Amino acid sequence: MSPPQSSATVASRADFTMNLDDDNALVERARKGDFSAFERLFDRHRLIAFRFAYQMTRRIDDAEDLVQDAFVRAYNNLHRYRDEARFTTWLLRIISNLATDRARMSKRRNNLEQQEATGALVWMTDTSNMDPISNLEKDRRQIAIEKGLAALPVHHRTVIILRDIEERDYQEIAAILGCTVGGAKLRVLRARRALRDRVAPLIGDELQ
């Protein structure tokens, strides 16, 4: 006999199901031409979309452009959305693909990112202040980690952000990247090793 679930757990699962169903209902209305329904989706999910895009680009203007492009692409491709997936998962996959495409088109941006990457990973998970540059801690190890992250190829940086900063589970990462759960785990492992190899020469030891 399984142990009884707490009321908080039951409520949390109920809220998740409600939110998923509500998103799907809004998508269906938007498919039928109700633009106000899509505006509600935008209002509901723009913060999480911006946070992810900002972590990918570390530039507010670029993140805002990425989010705008992602929602436009989502609206134009609503017929491809499948209700069994979460709307946020689908949206983050669009953002990830757009960011990858932009990185391939403009490699020189990496130099700018390295110049601006002068602080800790900690601020990336703090949405209370979207101007993190002025609040970065001048810790040598943290600076080295951030520089190493900025110098990674975009495919490695994406999985580090999804798993270690966004703390998303492997199933959702697999859905975002369009691969198997095993493939997602392998990509995370490779990305962590790549980050460690970038950071170790900067701090004189290996990233734990």
**Dist. CA 42–CA 160, nearest whole Å:** 25
**Dist. CA 153–CA 157, nearest whole Å:** 6
* Element spanning 22, H or E: helix 7-31
* Residue 170, domain CATH: 1.10.10.10
Same domain, 97 and 16: yes
SS3 state of residue 83: coil
Range of the domain at 23: 10-106
Position 197 scores a pLDDT of 87
* Residue 80, domain CATH: 1.10.1740.10
Hey, what amino acid is at 137?
Answer: E
pLDDT digits (tens, 9 = 90+) for 37-61: 999 999 999 999 999 999 888 889 8
pLDDT digits (tens, 9 = 90+) for 89-123: 999 999 999 988 887 776 544 444 444 343 334 43
**Dist. CA 191–CA 162, nearest whole Å:** 11
Same domain, 48 and 133: no
Same domain, 124 and 198: yes
Same domain, 160 and 82: no
The whole-angstrom distance between residue 178's C-alpha and the CA centroid of its chain comes to 14
Of 60, 83, 106, which residue sits at a domain end?
106
- pLDDT < 50: residue spans in the chain: 1-4, 6-18, 108-127, 130-138, 206-208
pTM for this predicted structure:
0.58
Number of structural domains in the chain: 2
Same domain, 101 and 126: no
- Percent of the chain clearing pLDDT 70 (strictly above): 70
